[in-house]
Amino acid sequence: MLLICLIALIVLLGLAFIGRGWLAWVSASAILLAGTWLTGIEWPAAFTLCLAAWSVLALITGWRPLRRALFAQALMPRVTTVLPRMGPTERIALEAGTVWWDAQIFSGMPDWKVLTDFRCRPLDAREQAFMDGPVTRLCEMLHEWDVQQRRDLPPEAWEMIRRERFFGMIIPESYGGLGFSEVGHSRIVTRIASRSIAAAVTVMVPNSLGPGELLLHYGTDQQKDYYLPRLADGREIPCFALTGAEAGSDAAATQSTGIVEYGEWEGERVLGMRLNWSKRYITLAPVATLIGLAFRLKDPHGHLGNTEDLGITCALLARDLAGIEIGRHHDPMGVPFANGPIKGRDVFVPLESIIGGRAQIGHGWRMLMESLAAGRSISLPALAVGAAQMATRICGAYATVREQFDTPIGRFEGIEEPLARIAGMTYLMSATRTLTCGALDAGERPAVLGSIAKAYLTDGMREVVTDAMDIRAGAGIQRGPRNSLAGMWSAIPIGITVEGANILTRSMIVYGQGAIRCHPFVHPLIEATAEEDAKAFDRALFGYVNFIATRSVRAFLLGLSGSRLARAPDTADVHRFYQHLSRLSAAFAVISDLAMGTLGGALKRREKISGRLADALAWQYLAAASLKRYHDEPKLAPHYDLARWAAATALYRTQEALLGVLENLPMRGAAALVRAITFPTGGRFRPPSDRLGQRVARAILEDKEARLNLTADIHVPGPDDAGLGTLEAALDKAVRAIPVETKLRDAVRDGRLDHAPPDQLDDLALAAGIISEEEYQRLDEAREARMEAVQVDAFDADTYRQLR
């Protein structure tokens, strides 16, 4: 009897573990029944009754016609009250873009072969030549401090941007653009951002959400033929007016309006729109010649049919139209890129100004959401990676060059700790940028992953640059040409705020959209209840029940086994991290379903809980991206340490987010039960150890190849540059002097030299024949270079009063 029960239990758990819930149920029943018949065992009456009930339930739930008849019609109304309600604009936003690796995370059983076999597109020869040529020349024309004082890019930079078609990176060559890949586009923005935030923003906006992107996907042939070549070569400078005082994050609530009516256009009476709007925070508006405008179109006179409110619509307007007020500047944190308000009063344009013509009337919200799904994945993540790589390069050099107590400051544990965070976060952020752009180049439009990249990489920028400012200390807060961090520090709030404020993105978009789009059964369930389709409802509901049961078993067994039962790629050094992520994916699936099941539609108002679920989803993706990077790169020791640091950080933050959800769900009994299932041995993941952090920090202090690999996308100026260039030159000289300094320390320790100040010690060592004349010169050059590299800027009174 005991053996039969044990076999049935093993089969039940084994099949449930691999996601075969109903088969597990039926198989366990069959084993018990067959065992009873073959062995002639007489079970206790209570057990026999339970076994009969179990078998009948297995039959009922497995026979779909009977199941639908008994359950579907009765349960559909009740399930409808639990599911979130969606209006038209919410539905469009939720359905924008595609799902990709995010669906694997929600599945609770990620297929790692899909990730390891995926190939991110490298730069092609044409893109690399553009990086080595025009991008490098543009960076050489720019200096953040000079741009800051001009309050604009230099004229020669504007000319090069136009001539080399920087505004046309996403425009196909057939329309006069560059037609670059998404990863090429991203790496170009990253390099420019490492030199000038203002220049990066100027270049990236026309290639992100704006007229070019919208025309490519939705414009008429006539619109494409006319506008795209002019946008590519800079004859037209575009901006896109979306945000208004009344509609910031809730852009669909815009009060910008268009009324369909007849009016005069180029001497003729035509059917058009009379537009009124007031927009703000519009990048490039002060210098734009072509305005993209989002507004709500209304037809109160019935010129186009019987519908009065036609919906959000997008149109293209020339700057010089009567009634447009444009040219004033905002001052976003002092970063001098063009940004300002646009107002329009009774501006009349023909209906042909609508992007895509009359066929796209009312489809503007869908157009914007689908374009944002791609745009969020590229521009601001690229800028954040540029800032992180620049901080890594600066701090790795500065912590070696800067000495206190006769020791490079990078040797102190207080500096070593933020250095490790800078290096580890930069590795993780660069990996996420590469994987997300790779998905875009493969034809995906990953709306949820794009939102994760935007929100969590710009937050990562804040973390990295804050640590860098702490390390630079006094040198970091003195503005001037020597301070290469000041512009990035000022730009942090910009990256965090635009293209969807991070608070909103985290608390509402990442998980809200992810749960509906990426969960294997939530969206089908919503669709089935909306259409009152009993057959589809039955499939979705019982699929969902199977999903919850099997993922609960899986999460519990993986938790008990320390993740060892999970399948993972055969990579011995990071194999366990893949297993741990599989375990957390199962736990995430169960806890996510618990939150949705207990809170229902109220979950979208419980933003602290949805925000923690977003954190768990995001950090699993960031961990997967880091492991993918390690899988694809040469297996070097520094890469291993960086990948381990990134994965350990992500595992810990995922765990803490999930535990935070369980601690705050209102149904405490259910939360306690699910905690026992998903974390049966408690929260076992920890942040990276001090020892691992030390190795990561040493990688950017001592391993030149690791430092270069980690900062491969940035522009490194020559030694005449007052900022990074001077620091890099000092680093080279300091590294050359290290063997000589070691020789001096050994001589003092052995008693061959007395303790003395460094400059006197050099003279004593030379006189004693411990070092040669050439070695003495190396020490002298290194000391002078160090002193030059740690200087800060100072201004006379007249110059200071004129600073901007």
User: Which residues belong to the active site?
Assistant: 499
Q: Are 782 and 744 in contact (CB under 8 A)?
A: no
Strands 309-318 and 257-265: unpaired
Distance between CA atoms of residues 421 and 467, nearest Å: 8
User: Of how many residues is the chain composed?
Assistant: 804
Q: Are 586 and 108 in contact (CB under 8 A)?
A: yes
What is the DSSP-derived secondary structure letter of residue 98?
A: B
Tell me, letter by letter, the H, E, C secondary structure of 126-195.
HHHHHHHHHHHHHHHHCCHHHHHHHCCCCHHHHHHHHHCCHHHCCCCHHHCCCCCCHHHHHHHHHHHHCC
Residue from 220, 244, 262, 241 nearest 319 by CA = 241
Q: Are 628 and 101 in contact (CB under 8 A)?
A: no
Q: Are 420 and 697 in contact (CB under 8 A)?
A: yes
Distance between CA atoms of residues 540 and 116, nearest Å: 30
Q: Are 426 and 757 in contact (CB under 8 A)?
A: no
Q: Are 499 and 380 in contact (CB under 8 A)?
A: yes
Distance between CA atoms of residues 428 and 626, nearest Å: 5
Residue from 337, 467, 451 nearest 398 by CA = 467
Residues 6+ apart with CB under 8 A from 37: none
Residues 6+ apart with CB under 8 A from 431: 622, 625, 626, 628, 629, 646
Residues 6+ apart with CB under 8 A from 682: none
What is the DSSP-derived secondary structure letter of residue 244?
A: B
Residue from 551, 469, 453 nearest 509 by CA = 453
Tell me, letter by letter, the H, E, C secondary structure of 428-458.
HHHHHHHHHHHHHHCCCCEHHHHHHHHHHHH
Tokens, residue 631? 């899988």
Q: Are 438 and 120 in contact (CB under 8 A)?
A: yes
Distance between CA atoms of residues 161 and 742, nearest Å: 49
CA distances from 96 to 259, 371, 594 (A): 27, 9, 26
Distance between CA atoms of residues 76 and 526, nearest Å: 10
Helix (H) or strand (E) holding 46: helix 45-62
What is the DSSP-derived secondary structure letter of residue 328?
A: -
Distance between CA atoms of residues 224 and 216, nearest Å: 7
Facing residues of 274 across strands? Answer: 259, 348
Distance between CA atoms of residues 315 and 756, nearest Å: 74
CA distances from 213 to 210, 240, 272, 368, 531 (A): 6, 11, 24, 10, 34
Distance between CA atoms of residues 159 and 670, nearest Å: 64
Distance between CA atoms of residues 389 and 367, nearest Å: 33
**Three-class SS state of 392:** helix
Tokens, residue 798? 């007249």
Distance between CA atoms of residues 649 and 643, nearest Å: 10
Cβ neighbours, 10 Å, residue 576: 17
Strands 309-318 and 238-241: unpaired
